[in-house]
Amino acid sequence: MYSYFLFLLILIPFLALSTWASVRVNTTYAAFDRVPNRSNMTGYDAAVRLMQRRGVHDISVGRVSGRLSDHYNPTKKIVNLSQSTYGSASVAAVAVAAHEVGHVMQKKSGYIPYKIRNILVPVTNIGSRLALPVILVGIILDFTLLSVSVPVGQYLVYIGIGLYGLSTLFMLATLPVEFNASRRARKMLLEDGILTEEELPGAKKVLSAAALTYVASLLISLIYFLRFALVFASMVGRNRE
C-alpha cells in the first residue's frame, strides 16, 4: 500500500502536466483563432492549396464534428478538418490544416517514422487524446490489483505491462512524426504565402501547444509501464524467496 501512495505522489505532477497541456492547446488555439490571416484563406482553402501545389490530387478534404478533432485518414484518403478549422480564416485554422497536410506529405515521401507509427495506429490524432484513457485504465487496474487474489493479480500485472508497453511504444513512434509534420506545416505555409513571417510565430505556438499533449501522454504511459514492471519484478523476487 505504501508503494502505491508513493507511486501516486510521482504520478500527480504528470497528471498536472497533462491537464495543463490540454488547457493550453485549447486556449492557444482559441487565441489565434481570433487572429485572421492576411491571405484570408480558410483551413479548407489552405489544405487544398498545399496539396495541389505539391502534386497531391487523390486526397479529399472533409469536415468532421468537434473541436480540434482534425486528422488525416490515409486508408480513406481524406484529410478531416474539424468544424473549428474547416471554415475559419484564422492563423490557428491554417496552422492545424497544414499540420494534417504535413502527414499527407510524410506518406507521399515515404517518411520512415510515419510508416512505423501508421502500422501501430493509422489515425493520426489519437495520441493527443490518449492521456485520459491511460489514466482511467491504470486506476482501474491498480484498484483491482489491490483487491484480488495473487494468481489473478499476476494476470493483471501482465495485462498492465503489455498495455502500457504498447501505448509507450506508440507514443515514442508518434512524437517524431508529429514534430516533423509541424515543421513541414510551417515551411509550406510560408512557401505558399498563406502566412507571412510575422504570422508564423502564432502558428508555431498553436502547433507547439498541440505537440505538448503528445509529450504528456507519453510520460503518463511510461510512468504506468514502469509501475507495472516494478510490481512484476517484486512478484518475481517474492517467488524466488
Residues belonging to the active site: 100
Cell of 183: 515543421
| C-alpha cell recorded at residue 3 | 508503494
- 6: exposed, middle or buried (Cβ count in 10 Å: 0-12, 13-18, 19+): exposed
Among candidates 92, 103, 2, which has minimal Cα distance to 50?
A: 103
SS3 of 33-83? HCCECCCCCCHHHHHHHHHHCCCCCCCEEEEECCCCCCEEECCCCEEEEEH
Q: Which three cell numbers stand for residue 26?
A: 485549447
